[in-house]
Amino acid sequence: MSVNIVIGTQWGDEGKGKIIDIMASRADVVVRSQGGNNAGHTVVCGGETYKLHLIPSGILYKDTACLIGAGVVIDPKVLLGEIDGLSARGISFGNFKIDPRAHVIMPWHVELDGLSEKFRGNSDIGTTKRGIGPAYMDKYERSGLRIYDLVNPEIFAKKAKSAGELKNKIITAVYGGEALDVEAIIAEYVEYGKRLKEYVADVSVLTYEAAKAGKNILFEGAQATLLDIDFGTYPYVTSSHPISAGVCIGTGVGPMIIENIIGVAKAYTTRVGKGPFPTELDDEIGETIRNKGGEFGTTTGRPRRTGWFDAVIVRHSVRVNGLSSLAINKLDTLSGIGNLKVCVAYKKPDGSTLKDFPATLEELEGCEPIYEEINGFDEDISKCRSFDELPKACKDYIARLEELCGCKVSMVGVGPSREQNLER
């Protein structure tokens, strides 16, 4: 048996989808435990590209069970669209299940996400506007609708009516927006519930039983550590726990079954949405990295902000997640850009040095990255198929990241496809 978690160590889009797809070849079960369709995970195989938002990235293997745990928030329309799109490409959903406890993203959540962002004006978070925050708000306020409700039309109609009417008051009276047609929404969503009913099963039980049977389980993280509601750059974060501990809460299993926690990082740093980014590059190098790395959001298409590798944030991730090892993706993107810089610590405005990522934005304010320069490389490494084939400068770069982050690197990515992953 092996039970692994794959988690993002930066601000998302580290290439988790690729690593999960590769590891899923050895997994019996792949489970998602938090977030929703704010995620966009890309899997490239056999010349085909799949962009997954809700469906676990193990879905390309027909015998792998793909489960969505209680901690995920589900937009049923998006989920069904994804099921239909993948089914049309020959992907099987015979082993796909959703926990009845997972909360449903309703149209008013999407509407309120947009309205509250607009209301914040220049202080907006830069959310994906998928209704994630408002759906989690209702969950914790104990007024949310769950998948169990959705697939039981009478219960759903009653709960959705009262929820929708209240949200309409907020939409119109607080934000000056237009009321939604609650009856029409109920009629539409009851149909979604009918289609999703066949997939509903207790994911906590399924995962526990798989563990007891000695099966290989892979937990698929979405978002990333610096977007965690508590351990990220609050308030510029998402509304869930994308850290390793979130896996247990969002699936309903105990921490003792976990054996390995793999943190995925890019060989540099990116961020979509607003919020602090100490090593951000607003220059030609940043633009080159964006274009070479195709750094445009998988979910929203927004250009991703780019910058140097920040060992302070990855060290934070090593600690917060208890990482066993790191997977460093997109090393190929750094070829030909000259010498590389890595942030080793921050210099505070009073001249002192900060080694641990601070708890608040106020403490981060005015901090400047302290860089170490490392030799770059010009070779095309995308055709390397083993770590030993990499040029010396690449090996030295990886070795330095290991030292600075205090964690071994077990995989290096030199391209988006399955075979462009060098395992050590």
CA atoms of 171 and 161, how far apart (whole Å): 15
Of 38, 2, 43, 40, the closest CA to residue 19 belongs to: 43
Q: Is 13 a catalytic residue?
A: yes
Q: Evaluate whether 326 touches 365 at the Cβ level (below 8 Å).
A: no
Under DSSP, the state recorded for 129 is: S
Question: The tokens 């080159």 sit on which residue?
Answer: 288
3-state helix, strand, coil in the chain (%, to 5): 40, 20, 40
In the chain, count of helices (H) and strands (E)?
13, 19
Determine contact, residues 381/413, Cβ cutoff 8 Å.
no
Of 120 and 418, which CB lies nearer to ligand GDP in the complex structure?
418
Taking CB under 6 A as the rule, does residue 252 contact ligand GDP? no
Q: Does 41 bind ligand GDP (CB under 6 A)?
A: yes
Is 233 one of the binding residues for ligand IMO (CB under 6 A)? no
Does 224 interact with ligand IMO (rule: CB under 6 A)? yes
Binding mask 283-322 for ligand GDP (x = CB under 6 A): -----------x---x------------------------
Question: Which of 33, 34, 127, 333 is close enough to bind ligand IMO by CB under 6 A?
Answer: 127
The residue annotated as part of the active site, out of 21, 41, 241, 316, is: 41
Within 361-420, the residues that bind ligand GDP by CB under 6 A are: 413-416, 420
Q: What is the contact surface with Mg ion in residues (CB under 5 A)? A: 13, 40, 298
User: What contacts 24+ positions apart, CB below 8 Å, involve 48-51?
Assistant: 48/89, 50/86, 50/89, 51/298
Query: Residue 98: in which H helix or E strand, if any?
Result: strand 96-98
Is 103 a residue of the active site? no
CB of 192 to ligand GDP, least distance (A): 25
Cα separation of 370 and 306, whole Å?
17
Question: CB 249 → Mg ion: shortest distance, Å?
Answer: 22
Bond before 242 cis per omega within 30 degrees: no
Query: Rounded to the nearest whole angstrom, what is the least distance from the CB of residue 120 to ligand GDP in the complex?
Result: 25
Minimum CB distance to ligand IMO smaller for 105 or for 340:
105
For the purposes of burial, counting CB atoms within 10 Å of the CB of 385, is it exposed (0-12), middle (13-18) or buried (19 or more)?
exposed
Active site residues: 13, 41
Residues contributing to the site for ligand GDP (CB under 6 A):
8, 12-18, 40-42, 44, 294, 298, 329-330, 332-333, 413-416, 420
Residues contributing to the site for ligand IMO (CB under 6 A):
8, 11-13, 38-41, 125-128, 130, 132-133, 222-224, 227, 238-239, 272-273, 298
